[in-house]
Amino acid sequence: MLAVDAGNSRIKWGLRHADGRWTDFGAASVDELERAYEAWARIPAPRHVAIANVAGPTMRETVIDLASRWQTELLWVAAAERACGVVNDYENPRQLGVDRWAAAVAAWQRERRECLVVMAGTATTIDVLDARGVFRGGLILPGLGLMKRALADHTAALTLARGNYRELPRNTADAMESGCIHAQVGAIERMYRQLPPGARCVISGGGAHALVPHLTMPVVQVEHLVLEGVAALAEEMMRGEGAQGCGSSC
């Protein structure tokens, strides 16, 4: 199965074999999709392509075009009331972003206990799973890059320069970098206080490496959390065990 995480900034993928091994991981920015076409041409034809798409109809058509080289079934996973042992307590379960849902499913399969699930990408999402596998809800805030670009785009004196984290910054680039990291880490730590002592924070996404050194709770960093969840949801869908999604005709 080729698992695909189609996001707002990048499309990511990985090939999951029947024995559970993962190979052929890759990613391409939405501005350089030719890299995806080149990479997918080298991937052995999968039996299924499972997709979580949060980037709208244009990305959907792109994925369909990318997969058209193979005669294979497309499985579009979606948030549901329950799947893979996780119960969705969102007010409107189907409104939950499928990337957050897939991350929660993967985190539950890894931890099977209370945990905070953090995805640090274009947006940072911070979600709570309780001891019964109930997705309790969480936060969405701008990711690190988006925070910094907002400062640069909407102020006259600040520019988008590379800075370093400092406890007490003494130049503007470091002040912006450190301020954005403090904002992200502070939100994560405030949410973590809702969990019992010893609960883990499971974190993934392109911005995770910048945040992990500053987190004080038990943390496990997972490289491809959403892809793991996409594969689990698609496998349950194929078994007909209640996961909500749609096939190639959807």
Catalytic residue (choose from 24, 99, 127, 153) = 99
Determine the distance from the C-alpha atom of residue 237 to the mean position of all C-alpha atoms in its chain, rounded to a whole number. Answer: 20
Helix axes 98-111, 225-239, angle to 10 degrees: 90
Tokens, residue 162? 């590379």
Is 174 tagged catalytic? no
Q: Report the distance separating Cα 233 and Cα 79, nearest Å.
A: 9
Tell me, letter by letter, the H, E, C secondary structure of 112-172.
CCCEEEEEECCEEEEEEECCCCEEEEEEEEECHHHHHHHHHHCCCCCCCCCCCCCCCCCCH
Beta partners for residue 6, in sequence order: 11, 53
- The set of catalytic residues is 99
